[in-house]
Amino acid sequence: MRRRRGIGKVFLEKILNENHGLPCFCHGHSTGAAITLKALLDPKVVASIVGATFTSPAVGVEPSHPILVALAPIVSFLLPTYQCNSAYKKGLPVSRDPDALIAKYSDPLVCTGSLRVLLHADSVTDPDASQKLYEQASSTDKTIKLYEGFAHDLLFEPKREDITRNIIQWLNSRI
């Protein structure tokens, strides 16, 4: 039986083919960072990219209450299309900039609808888990910058230009 390639790998192949010979970097935010980190466990993916950047990676996220962890698969099986009320409507602290929030949640690629039973939307990821990820990462070419007092979505914060500039400088120094 042929093994299916994940959508992330298909997307990476598309990017590499369309930009043949150019260095490839990955960026992931929050859950996207966790997905990117999982992809980086694949030696073929690691061989294809030059580096990766992450903002507020969803690593070290504590599981929900044990009862919810036990019930979630059952509810998911019995009610596979059931949707929970979206946490986005409750004003999660993703940015302190009201205009940036409007821009973000007006983007059709940003999830704003109801969440399925097994999805988890955390309010803030754990900077200690990011520090631990940094310390345990096998790469010798790595940098960490922890921003205190900022909300979850750093690229939508009032100081986003500074954060973006830091990421671009990191990328440029590796090209």
Q: Is residue 2 part of a domain?
A: no
pLDDT digits (tens, 9 = 90+) for 110-169: 766 654 445 333 445 888 889 999 999 988 999 999 888 888 889 988 889 999 999 999
Q: Is residue 58 part of a domain?
A: yes
Q: Is residue 80 part of a domain?
A: yes
**Which of 140, 132, 135 is closest to 61 using CA atoms?**
132
CATH code assigned at 166: 3.40.50.1820
User: CA–CA separation, 124 vs 57, rounded Å?
Assistant: 10
Bigger pLDDT: 50 vs 86: 50
Q: Is residue 25 part of a domain?
A: yes
Q: Is residue 1 part of a domain?
A: no
User: CA–CA separation, 10 vs 144, rounded Å?
Assistant: 29
Q: How many CA atoms lie within 13 A of 145 on its CB side?
A: 13
Q: Is residue 71 part of a domain?
A: yes
Domain span holding position 114? 7-172
pLDDT digits (tens, 9 = 90+) for 26-41: 999 988 888 889 888 8
pLDDT of residue 63: 65
Total number of domains constituting the chain = 1
